[in-house]
Structure 1
């Protein structure tokens, strides 16, 4: 009857931890609700409400990321339309979206991504590969990943 040393068992545990997925791409959402620059802001509001999301990426016909639109951008549109007494139907996503979009690398460690969220105060980051939108990581995705990793080494 052999006895395993405490160190031996520990080394085995270390090997298992290394195989746990901790990259952004392992937890990102790939099936995204996206918007087109020519869509109306009113259409965006309907989709935000029906899909229970707070914003989403804006892509061109080649699935290239060209912006992001959020609830806040839509609220600004509503406020401006009310203030200037203008109909909302004629305003497009392109006029309201944020065009200078910060992306995140799909190979980034989720804990580094968590720090990026804290520093930037953003709710979501798109992931682009070869110029195309491939996914999005949100603060909630990071929280889900942390729960899955609970009990493992946080290396």
Structure 2
């Protein structure tokens, strides 16, 4: 006489939903951008109004030309005062950083965290097919870390 099981059919264990871990999943797509011809004073107003510390400089095709930050604006204030120069004719194109480090939207967001610590940047633009498609900031990486905690890595 064989042993009978009274457990019945078991359902396959539910596979937890995969937590998104790419930069693309956490990047900001709706960006405040600047143009080369914008005045530095207008940039300062936009930075304050939107509560951001900097942003991408693009052309009409959304091609990335550079970055402008609070630090760039503060330097301009300091230089203008020191040299007694008016700021009314100063444009983003004259002050922006033209050599910009970008990262791939498919990069793992935790790898992006390592890149932030290595390069000491506050934000990285994401460019696809020559066009700016988003930006990831240190704050975005923090949001990702909170969401990923316990799912794919531990403290």
**What number of residue pairs does the alignment pair up?**
147
TM-score, normalised on structure 1?
A: 0.89
1:16 maps to which residue? 16
How many Å separate the matches in 1 of 2:55 and 2:8? 58
1:131 matched to which residue of 2?
A: 130
1:62 paired residue number: 61
Over alpha carbons, which structure has the higher Rg? 2
The reply on whether 1:77 has 2:86 as its aligned counterpart is no
Counterpart for residue 89 of structure 1: 88
TM-score computed with the length of structure 2 as normaliser: 0.89
| Structure 2: distance between partners of 1:2 and 1:105 | 49
Unaligned runs of 5+ in 2: 1-6
Per-residue CA deviations over 1:73-106 (Å, capped at 9, x if unaligned) read: 0001001100111111100001100000000100
Output the aligned Cα RMSD: 1.8
Q: Distance in 2 between matches of 1:79 and 1:150?
A: 43
Q: What do residues 93-150 of structure 1 show as CA deviations (whole Å, max 9, x unaligned)? A: 0110000000010000000000000000000000000000000000000000111112
Q: Deviations over 1:21-60 (max 9, x none)?
A: 0000000000000000000111000000111100000001
For structure 1, list consecutive stretches of 5 or more residues without a partner in the other structure: none
Deviation of 1:16 after TM superposition, in Å, equals 2.9
Counterpart Cα distance in 2 of 1:3 and 1:97:
66
Taking the aligned partners of 1:60 and 1:95, their CA distance within structure 2 comes to: 15
Alignment CA distance shift 1:77-1:119 (3 Å): same
